Chains A and B, each alone.
Chain A
């Protein structure tokens, strides 16, 4: 449940996106063919991705900042530069674990079923 204060009424952002996704699924997909139907399917997938990010994005940001700070960096750019220069070679297991967690977070929003079952959130 989102505890942040906002001036907006319902529907929430997530509910608005959900309503458009449902319209695409129930009306547009069934009344189109070929290229437009394919692009409707893509649009449904995109909106579903946005819904997942709205649900877990804030939590993921907190986790991401924590993972970076545990490695002594402030951003993915700093982490990437450190890996490239070899600065992390002696802590590689920590870095790999952190990067892997970030990738799993990204995929759990982008395409959860792409992952092995043990990496998917319950």
Chain B
């Protein structure tokens, strides 16, 4: 422990050490989530970003770095990996090139400067996802391969017990998902959180796929379904990321991947994604209700759970006859 207190100076010095003595300037914090914080800085004038892991995060950032490396080789547009490892004080880090552009969904969906990008993004998303799913699994050892439905079944049970809640709409969704699981699926690398907000977009379209910390091994259709969840349309009526039609996503994906993309499988993953987002809203509200982080903003999210219940009711309208025939 040093006797002075200059956390920013200490971080700059630590970064300089791992970048072979380059001069670190304008170290500015961009965001601080629960598990990691992101900073922007210049290294001898080159704009870079660093993500530094916090102590509560058990994921291995080296796995994420290896995914980034493999994604670049597979042709996914990603920031260049500059360095990764562990600081002397123990925190893991990833340093990447800074990619200029916009991540805020509402700007991408509404601002005039992105009008041309909006016409090409669905096709570019399809191509990028096909590239993600082409990454050889053996190149990225250490990714979790948990069954998504089982994982969120457990999360819902835990949250229901902690909050003394019951959600008949979510039980209907699980019942439908059990009876309609897509038959056989490819197993590939899955990005896990591919949507507006986690991609860098310029007036020319998709520039970089960001936020790989939820990457795992699973059914590639999970990424396509998540992109269609109503929450990620940010108020737009268009199903795919608020930008386009499901058919355009499926057609573009089939062309880029050479693999068939079944609309029923897409719907199955969209329903599971909607359910998953509803459970994540419960989790955020629980942080307030259980006292980990008292906040009226988190509390209010508890009353947004029913938005996802409503979306499930809409997505499965007229499809309930196929319930529970597993």
Contacts and interface: CB of A to CB of B under 8 A. Distances in A.
A75 interface: yes
B320 A103 contact: no
Nearest to B170: A80
A39 interface: yes
B172 interface: yes
B307 interface: yes
A74 B162 CA distance: 21
B306 A95 contact: no
A115 B310 contact: yes
Interface string B283-304: 0000000000000110110011
Given A46-B299, A106-B306, A93 B320 contact: yes
A86 B179 CA distance: 11
B146 interface: no
Contacts of A75: 166
B175 interface: yes
Nearest to A42: B297
A103 B169 contact: yes
A49 interface: yes
A110 B323 contact: no
B306 A103 contact: yes
B32 to A, nearest CB: 13
Interface size range of chain A in the complex? 20 to 34
Given A39-B297, A84-B171, A103-B313, A79 B320 contact: no
Contacts of A79: 166, 168, 171
B239 to A, nearest CB: 15
Contact of A114 (B171, B307, B324): B307
Given A39-B296, A42-B297, A103-B306, A76 B320 contact: no
A99 interface: yes
Contacts of A102: 168-169
B168 A89 contact: no
Interface residues of B, number: 25
A92 B320 contact: yes
Contacts of B320: 92-93, 96
Contact of A99 (B172, B297, B314): B172
Given A99-B313, A106-B309, A86 B303 contact: no
B309 A103 contact: yes
A107 B306 contact: yes
Interface in A27-51: 39, 42-43, 45-46, 49
Interface in B249-301: 296-297, 299-300
Given A39-B296, A107-B306, 8 more contacts: A45-B300, A76-B167, A80-B171, A84-B171, A89-B175, A99-B168, A99-B169, A110-B307
Interface in A80-108: 80-81, 83-84, 86, 89, 92-93, 95-96, 99-100, 102-104, 106-107
A111 interface: yes
Nearest to B314: A116
B321 interface: yes
7 contacts: A43-B296, A49-B300, A79-B166, A83-B168, A84-B171, A115-B310, A116-B314
Nearest to B311: A114
B174 interface: yes
Interface string B164-185: 0011111110110000000000
Contacts of B168: 76, 79-80, 83, 95, 99, 102
A62 interface: no
Nearest to A100: B313
Interface in A8-43: 39, 42-43
Interface string A38-74: 0100110110010000000000000000000000000
A118 to B, nearest CB: 12
Contacts of A100: 313
A107 B307 contact: yes
